[in-house]
Structure 1
Amino acid sequence: MPTPEFFLRTLRADADRLAEVARLGLTAEVPCCPGWTVETVVRHVAMVYLHKIEAIQRNARPEPWPPAGLDDRDALELYDDATARLFAQLAESGPSAPSWTWWPEDQTTGFWFRRMAQETAVHRVDVELAHDVVTPIDAELASDGIDEVLRVMMGGVWDEGDSKHPVDASIRITAAGRSWTVALTGTEVTVTDGAEGEVAAEIFGEPAAVLLWVWGRLDQDAIQIAGSEEVTQEFRARLKEATQ
């Protein structure tokens, strides 16, 4: 996994870029997110930042949430304030301090260093797509983002009935020489490194393209697929359930 310093550096670059592009116009529609405008993205990211600040400060899930009055604030002003406060909080806490997170395996602020870098990279692309000025995602960040989606968002035990897409198959993702093999059932998703074993489908592509595909920002034209189209579609639907 990349270092906390790497996450901070990419987070800063993407947060700044998001604000820069948002100032081209808040009313532009985000093509990959029906019903969202640039303003929707800006407000969403600001609220996410503020939520994580509270999670770190309280070392508990922020409740009640959200605070009153935030909807009345100018979107870009709110975003700039939230961004400044997030970086101040991360600098003060460092990556090893205890913090509530929704992932039991990591209850430190380091989780939020990673999650906020990944969150911001994807939403930076959202506003860029709205204005047709897309720039690349750092390849190392994108590769880590694929790992995060598979292991943190999707991996683990699913209660029966949690998925409307209980595909029973294995699928492999390969990007920039790194592979993940994902075994799925209706009640469990297991992720292992490497390309061992047979799979029903394989997905290939540059790390950024694969990352944006798993997050539903690009369609299948951005990647390469070998094997079962049906399994691939069910896998993508299961990813959507895991990341909503």
Structure 2
Amino acid sequence: MTTRLTPAAYIDHIRSESARFRAVLADTDPTAPVPTAPEWTAADLLWHVAAEVQHFWTYVLETRPTAPTEEAYDEPERPKDASYQDLLAHFDELNARFIKTLEQTGPEEPTWSWSQDQSAAFTYRRQAHEILIHRLDAELTADALTPLDPALAADGIDEILDVFYGGKPEWATFAGDGRYVRVDAVDTDTRTWVELGLVSGTRPDGDRLEDEPDLSVLSTENIPADTEPDVVIEGTAADLDAWLWRRRDDEGIRVAGDRDIYDSFRALTNQAIKDDD
């Protein structure tokens, strides 16, 4: 079952999640530590989303670089004497420009991304999930949690497993080994199938990657007929999405099946994620 939302829905979520993110941080001590990123304060989180994420993707959509370079992209420099109100105003300005740019860019238009999807549709989806998770960071910082949208969270399960943990560069080849894990969001009736296996390939610098443990998300048509998963992981979409993003523990998440296979899956999905935004 596909979890993808419409382009308009992704923009709506970027708009609403950005507003919630901003509202939470506006009432938070700027020096408060972010529990999910201990090296950051609330002010750091605010600057990251505005200047390091949404400003960057505005640049990508507006200028259409073949690939961003430090020479071409002028990243904003955080003013040392800026007040918290200044940072909030800066967020408002950059966020409004980012949303307007998205609205003016068709999802099918070719744009750079760090994934194999070289269209604006990637940015629509990725940035909806980026701001959702950083909204959760803000709420954890302020101890003011509110529910995650179930449909967006269900899509988030697929995105983190397929794009982050299961994404492969063009030079890599994945060989599944017939061990299957199914992640079930019980409130949205969505299921994500994952096969464990090994990845090999030669990096552009010549280094060889040989039979490294990895995983791959299976589309419906690629699930072998009459196959039963070795492991089933169940929870609400919001709980599973936050858990996979290391924003909550596994309380309320149910696991049934082969424990060794689950442990292999968890070893692959409990690593720190490189934040490509």
- Same topology, TM > 0.5: yes
Is there any run of 5+ residues in structure 1 with no aligned partner, and where?
162-166
1:39 aligns with 2:43: yes
Identity %, equivalent residues = 32
Answer with 1 or 2: which has the greater Rg.
2
The farther-off stretch of 29-38 and 81-90 is 29-38
Letter in 1 for 2:56: H
Name the residue aligned to 1:210: 240
Q: Using the alignment, how far apart are the partners of 2:104 and 2:178 within structure 1?
A: 45
**SS of alignment partner, residue 102 of structure 1:** coil
Residue matched to 1:112: 123
> 1:1-244 counterparts in 2 under 5 A?
1-25=4-28, 26-46=30-50, 47-60=52-65, 61-64=67-70, 67=74, 69-72=76-79, 74-104=86-116, 106-157=117-168, 169-175=179-185, 176-187=188-199, 188-193=214-219, 197-241=227-271, 243-244=273-274
Structure 1 CA distance for aligned equivalents of residues 171 and 62 of structure 2 = 35
Q: How much has 1:20 moved relative to structure 2?
A: 0.4
Quick one: which amino acid aligns to residue 39 of structure 2? G
Using the size of structure 1 for normalisation, the TM-score is 0.86
Residues 1:43 and 1:186: Cα distance change in structure 2 (over 3 Å): farther
Q: Secondary structure at the match of 1:70?
A: coil
Deviations 1:35-71 (A, max 9, x none): 2322222122111111111111232232107635522
| TM-score, with structure 2 as normaliser | 0.77
Q: Whole-Å Cα distance in 1 between the matches of residues 107 and 75 of structure 2? A: 29
Q: For the Cα contact (< 8 Å) 1:7–1:113, is it kept in 2?
A: yes
Whichever structure has more strand as a proportion of its residues is 2
Query: Structure 1 CA distance, aligned partners of 2:267 and 2:261?
Result: 10
Deviation string 1:151-170 (CA, Å, 9 cap, x unpaired) is 22222447999xxxxx9843
Distance 1:12 1:107, change over 3 A: same
| Letter in structure 1 aligned against 2:134 | H
Residue number in structure 2 paired with 1:164: none
Q: Is the 8 A contact 2:11 2:103 kept in 1?
A: no
> Where is the helix percentage greater, Structure 1 or Structure 2?
1
Which deviations, in whole Å up to 9, do the C-alpha atoms of 1:117-165 show, x marking residues without a partner?
A: 111011101110111111111111111111111222222447999xxxx
| Alpha carbons of structure 1 residues 93 and 160: separation in structure 2 relative to 1, 3 Å | closer
The 3-state SS of whatever aligns with 1:172 is strand
Note closer, same or farther for the CA distance 1:24–1:59 as it changes in structure 2 (3 Å cut).
Answer: same
Shift of 1:22: 0.4
Offset at residue 13 of structure 1 (A): 0.7
Corresponding letter in the other structure for 1:179: R
Amino acid at match of 2:195: A
Alpha-carbon RMSD across the aligned residues, in angstroms, is 2.8
Correspondence for 2:204: none
| More divergent stretch after superposition (188-197 vs 4-13) | 188-197
Shift in alpha-carbon separation, 1:68–1:95, aligned structure 2, 3 A: closer
SS at match of 1:62: coil
Amino acid in structure 2 at the alignment position of 1:16: A
What amino acid sits opposite 1:243 in the alignment?
Answer: I
